[in-house]
Structure 1
Amino acid sequence: MTQTNKLWLRHYPPQVPATLTYPDVPITQFLIDAANDYPNREALVFLGKSMTYRQLMNDVYRFARALRRLGVGQGERVGIMLPNSPQAVIANFASLFVGAIVVQINPLYMRKELLHQLRDSGAETIVCLDQVWPRVQEVKPETDLKRIIVTRLSDYLLFPKNWLYSFKTRFEGQHASIRYDSQTYSFLSLIRNAPSDPMEPTCQSTEDVALLQYTGGTTGLAKGAMLTHRNLVANCCQAEAWLYKTRRDQHYSFVGALPFFHVYGLTAVMNLAMRMAARIILVPKFDLDLVLRLIAKYKPSFFPGAPTMYVGLINHPKISRYDLSSIEACLSGSAPLPLEVQEQFEKISGGVLVEGYGMTETSPVTHSNLLWDRKKSGTIGIPWPDTDARIVDMNTGEILPPGKQGELQVKGPQVMKGYWRRPQETEKVLKDGWLSTGDIARMDEDGYFYIMDRKKDVIIAGGFNIYPREVEDILYEHEAVQEAAVIGIKDDYRGETVKAYVVLKKGKYVTAGELDRFCRGRLAKYKVPRVYEFCNELPKSSVGKVLRRVLSEEEKKKQLPSDYKQDA
Structure 2
Amino acid sequence: MLSVELIRPVPQLLVEQAGRWGDKTVFSDDRRSVSYRELAERTRRVAGRLVAAGAARGDRVLIYLDNGADIAEAYLMTTRASLVGVCVNADAAPAEIEYLFLDSGASVIITDRAHVAHARELARNRRATVLVVGAGRVDDALSYEELATTEPASPPRDDLGLDEVAWMLYTSGTTGRPKGVLLTQRGCLWVVAACWSPIAGLSDQDRLLCPLPLFHSYALVLCVLGVFATGASEHIMTKFSPGRVVGLLGAEEFTVLPGVPTMFQYLVHFARERTVDTGGLRLCVSAGAILPAALNAEFEQVFGVKLIEGYGITETSTMVTMNAPEGGRVLGSCGLPMPGVGVRLVDPVTGDDVGVDEEGELWVSGPNVMRGYHNRADATAEVLRHGWYRTGDLGRRDPNGFLTISGRTKELIIRGGENIYPAEVEAVLLKSGQIRDAAVVAREHADLGEVPVAFVVLAEPGKLDVDALLAGCARELSKFKVPAEVVEVESIPRTASGKIMRFLLQKQLTAPAG
What interval of TM-score do these two structures reach, taking the shorter chain for normalisation? Answer: 0.7 to 0.9
Are positions 1:424 and 2:353 aligned together? no
- Match of 1:475? none
C-alpha offsets along residues 314-373 of structure 1, whole Å, 9 cap, x if unaligned?
A: 111686343114221222011111223212221233221011111110111111111212
C-alpha offsets along residues 450-498 of structure 1, whole Å, 9 cap, x if unaligned?
A: 111121349xxxxxxxxx99xx9xxxxxxxxxxxx9x9xxxxxxxx999
- Distance in 1 between residues matched to 2:48 and 2:189, nearest whole Å: 24
TM-score normalised over the length of structure 2: 0.78
Are positions 1:77 and 2:60 aligned together? yes
C-alpha offsets along residues 430-462 of structure 1, whole Å, 9 cap, x if unaligned?
A: 01211000101111211111111121349xxxx
Which residue, 210, 213, 219 being the options, matches 2:166?
210
Which residue, 98, 103, 107 being the options, matches 2:86?
103
Structure 2 contact 346–363 (Cα < 8 Å) conserved = yes
Which residue, 107, 113, 131 being the options, matches 2:114?
131
Which residue, 176, 189, 194 being the options, matches 1:238?
194
- Distance in 2 between residues matched to 1:349 and 1:130, nearest whole Å: 38
Which residue, 347, 350, 357 being the options, matches 2:311?
357
Spell out the pairing of 1:54-65 with structure 2 (5 A cutoff).
54-65=37-48
Structure 2 contact 362–393 (Cα < 8 Å) conserved = yes
Structure 2 contact 271–302 (Cα < 8 Å) conserved = no
Are positions 1:26 and 2:5 aligned together? no
Structure 1 contact 410–436 (Cα < 8 Å) conserved = yes
C-alpha offsets along residues 73-128 of structure 1, whole Å, 9 cap, x if unaligned?
A: 31111110112322212222111101001111110122321122111111000101
Structure 1 contact 256–269 (Cα < 8 Å) conserved = yes
- Distance in 2 between residues matched to 1:115 and 1:213, nearest whole Å: 15
- Distance in 2 between residues matched to 1:82 and 1:113, nearest whole Å: 15
Which residue, 130, 150, 174 being the options, matches 1:193?
150
- Distance in 2 between residues matched to 1:440 and 1:191, nearest whole Å: 46
- Match of 1:295? 249
Which residue, 28, 31, 44 being the options, matches 2:27?
44
- Match of 2:455? none
C-alpha offsets along residues 279-327 of structure 1, whole Å, 9 cap, x if unaligned?
A: 1111111122322222222221111110111111111168634311422
Relative to 1, partners in 2 of residues 1:383 and 1:25: Cα closer, same or farther, differing over 3 Å?
A: same
C-alpha offsets along residues 205-255 of structure 1, whole Å, 9 cap, x if unaligned?
A: 211100111113454211111111211221111124433645x4x431011
Cα deviation for residue 202 of structure 1 reads 2.8
- Distance in 1 between residues matched to 2:444 and 2:479, nearest whole Å: 11
User: What is the identity percentage for the equivalent residue pairs of Structure 1 and Structure 2?
Assistant: 27
Which residue, 150, 175, 178 being the options, matches 2:132?
150
Relative to 1, partners in 2 of residues 1:429 and 1:39: Cα closer, same or farther, differing over 3 Å?
A: same
Are positions 1:180 and 2:144 aligned together? no
Structure 1 contact 324–348 (Cα < 8 Å) conserved = no
Structure 2 contact 254–279 (Cα < 8 Å) conserved = no
Unaligned stretches of 5+ residues in structure 2: 423-438, 449-477, 492-504
- Distance in 1 between residues matched to 2:320 and 2:55, nearest whole Å: 33
- Match of 1:268? 222
Cα deviation for residue 145 of structure 1 reads 4.6
Structure 1 contact 253–302 (Cα < 8 Å) conserved = yes
Question: Counterpart of 2:48 in 1: which secondary structure?
Answer: helix
- Distance in 1 between residues matched to 2:483 and 2:304, nearest whole Å: 35
Which residue, 388, 393, 396 being the options, matches 1:439?
393
- Distance in 2 between residues matched to 1:54 and 1:72, nearest whole Å: 25
Are positions 1:120 and 2:126 aligned together? no
- Distance in 2 between residues matched to 1:21 and 1:111, nearest whole Å: 41
Relative to 1, partners in 2 of residues 1:557 and 1:212: Cα closer, same or farther, differing over 3 Å?
A: farther
Relative to 1, partners in 2 of residues 1:498 and 1:43: Cα closer, same or farther, differing over 3 Å?
A: closer
Question: Counterpart of 1:303 in 2: which secondary structure?
Answer: strand
Q: Which segment is superposed worse, 51-60 or 126-135? A: 51-60
Relative to 1, partners in 2 of residues 1:444 and 1:127: Cα closer, same or farther, differing over 3 Å?
A: same
Structure 1 segments, 4+ long, off by >6 Å, are 496-499, 556-561, 563-567
Which residue, 233, 243, 248 being the options, matches 1:279?
233
Instruction: Supply the AA of the counterpart residue of 2:47.
Output: A
- Match of 2:431? none
Relative to 1, partners in 2 of residues 1:113 and 1:557: Cα closer, same or farther, differing over 3 Å?
A: farther
Relative to 1, partners in 2 of residues 1:557 and 1:206: Cα closer, same or farther, differing over 3 Å?
A: farther
Instruction: Supply the AA of the counterpart residue of 2:102.
Output: R
Relative to 1, partners in 2 of residues 1:412 and 1:291: Cα closer, same or farther, differing over 3 Å?
A: same
- Match of 2:434? none
- Match of 2:179? 223
C-alpha offsets along residues 504-524 of structure 1, whole Å, 9 cap, x if unaligned?
A: 89xxxxxxxxxxxxxxxxxxx
Relative to 1, partners in 2 of residues 1:196 and 1:32: Cα closer, same or farther, differing over 3 Å?
A: farther
- Distance in 2 between residues matched to 1:92 and 1:402, nearest whole Å: 41
Which residue, 207, 217, 222 being the options, matches 1:253?
207
Instruction: Supply the AA of the counterpart residue of 2:131.
Output: I
Instruction: Supply the AA of the counterpart residue of 2:382.
Output: K
Relative to 1, partners in 2 of residues 1:326 and 1:111: Cα closer, same or farther, differing over 3 Å?
A: same
Cα deviation for residue 195 of structure 1 reads 5.5
Say how many residue pairs are matched: 447
Question: Counterpart of 1:270 in 2: which secondary structure?
Answer: helix
Relative to 1, partners in 2 of residues 1:125 and 1:198: Cα closer, same or farther, differing over 3 Å?
A: closer
Relative to 1, partners in 2 of residues 1:319 and 1:255: Cα closer, same or farther, differing over 3 Å?
A: farther
Q: CA RMSD in A?
A: 3.4
Structure 1 contact 313–319 (Cα < 8 Å) conserved = no
- Distance in 2 between residues matched to 1:448 and 1:150, nearest whole Å: 46
Relative to 1, partners in 2 of residues 1:123 and 1:497: Cα closer, same or farther, differing over 3 Å?
A: closer
- Match of 1:369? 323
Question: Counterpart of 1:127 in 2: which secondary structure?
Answer: strand
Cα deviation for residue 190 of structure 1 reads 2.3
Spell out the pairing of 1:380-399 with structure 2 (5 A cutoff).
380-399=334-353
- Distance in 1 between residues matched to 2:383 and 2:273, nearest whole Å: 44
Question: Counterpart of 1:33 in 2: which secondary structure?
Answer: helix
Structure 1 contact 209–226 (Cα < 8 Å) conserved = yes
- Distance in 2 between residues matched to 1:341 and 1:428, nearest whole Å: 36
TM-score normalised over the length of structure 1: 0.71
Instruction: Supply the AA of the counterpart residue of 1:228.
Output: T
Question: Counterpart of 2:114 in 1: which secondary structure?
Answer: helix
- Distance in 2 between residues matched to 1:503 and 1:334, nearest whole Å: 17
Unaligned stretches of 5+ residues in structure 1: 1-16, 156-176, 459-467, 473-484, 488-495, 506-544
Structure 1 contact 380–448 (Cα < 8 Å) conserved = yes
Structure 1 contact 60–90 (Cα < 8 Å) conserved = yes
- Distance in 1 between residues matched to 2:194 and 2:99, nearest whole Å: 33
